[in-house]
């Protein structure tokens, strides 16, 4: 989930957030997107809960988004949390536990006092705190932890994994990818795989054709590397940050 979506976020108080945005209905916030919030699970240690956020009627949304929301109301399995759970189960049925190193595990839809949520395994760093998103490493408090080359190499390794396993993950969004460190090397883990089943294509030919899939993944990875090089510190200048 991207912490800084293109559309303006509704006021925090209107959506159940504390004044500083650090809590949602009393639960610590891990990440906040335009349509969902991810919080620490107060019941199951080492997990997080994803909740849909109410739509702000004051924000004008593209027709495509409005149609998608209307379709989801009619077909609950198309709702965001349900779609992500189905996408993860679809991948897990094919890849099994090999998925765990690159994709956060989805557990189930659960009923909570704050409403229905998607329970997922929490991806953490070596200290046990939530792993920073790639977005945070580019624009947030964690900027400067890794230089651009190291992050671009991490994207390349993740891209290779997608190609090898034919995973049609096209939403290579810096907010949907968190960074964990393995032997001093940053690696990417995806925390939102719903685009595997739900994308912008009306006819999902890129998911059916291996060649089209690979070309689309490559384009998305190239775009992400370009964004990293535009915003992450270069190796020669990292000491200045």
Tell me the C-alpha distance between 87 and 192, whole Å.
9
Tell me the C-alpha distance between 164 and 179, whole Å.
21
| pLDDT given at position 77 | 58
- How many Å is the Cα radius of gyration of the chain? 18
* Across 190-203, average pLDDT: 80
Task: Name the band, by pLDDT with cuts 50, 70 and 90, for residue 88.
Answer: very high
- Give the Å distances, CA to CA, from 95 to 21, 85, 162, 170, 189: 37, 15, 12, 18, 15
Tell me the C-alpha distance between 167 and 99, whole Å.
10
**Does the pLDDT of residue 188 top 50, yes or no?**
yes
pLDDT for 5-43, tens place per residue? 444 444 555 578 999 999 999 999 999 987 899 999 999
Q: Contact 31/14 with Cβ under 8 angstroms?
A: no
H or E segment and range at residue 124:
none
Token pair of 233 as six digits: 């510190």
Q: Where are the alpha helices (DSSP H) in the chain?
A: 63-74, 80-95, 134-139, 148-165, 205-208, 210-231
| pLDDT given at position 44 | 97
Tell me the C-alpha distance between 165 and 145, whole Å.
30
Residue whose token pair is 């089209």: 212
Tell me the C-alpha distance between 151 and 224, whole Å.
10
pLDDT for 133-155, tens place per residue? 999 999 998 898 999 999 999 99
């Amino acid at each position: 989930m991207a912490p800084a979506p293109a559309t303006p976020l509704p006021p925090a108080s209107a959506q159940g957030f504390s004044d500083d945005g650090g809590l949602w209905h009393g639960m610590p916030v891990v990440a906040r997107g335009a349509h969902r919030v991810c919080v620490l699970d107060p019941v199951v240690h080492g997990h997080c809960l994803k909740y849909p956020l109410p739509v702000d009627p004051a924000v004008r949304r593209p027709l495509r988004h409005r149609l998608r929301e209307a379709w989801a109301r009619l077909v609950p399995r198309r709702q965001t949390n349900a779609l992500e759970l189905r996408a993860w189960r679809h991948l897990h049925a094919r890849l099994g536990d090999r998925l765990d190193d690159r994709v956060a595990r989805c557990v189930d839809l659960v009923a909570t006092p704050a409403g229905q949520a998607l329970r997922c395994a929490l991806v953490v760093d070596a200290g046990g705190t939530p792993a920073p998103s790639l977005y945070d490493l580019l624009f947030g408090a964690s900027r400067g932890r890794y230089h651009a080359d190291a992050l671009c190499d991490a994207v390349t390794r993740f891209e290779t994994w997608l190609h090898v396993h034919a995973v049609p993950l096209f939403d290579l969004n810096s907010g949907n990818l968190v960074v964990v460190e393995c032997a001093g090397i940053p690696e990417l883990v995806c925390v939102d795989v719903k685009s595997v089943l739900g994308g912008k294509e009306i006819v999902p030919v890129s998911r059916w054709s291996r060649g089209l899939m690979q070309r689309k993944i490559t384009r998305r990875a190239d775009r992400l590397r370009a964004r990293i090089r535009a915003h992450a510190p270069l190796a020669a200048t990292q000491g200045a940050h």
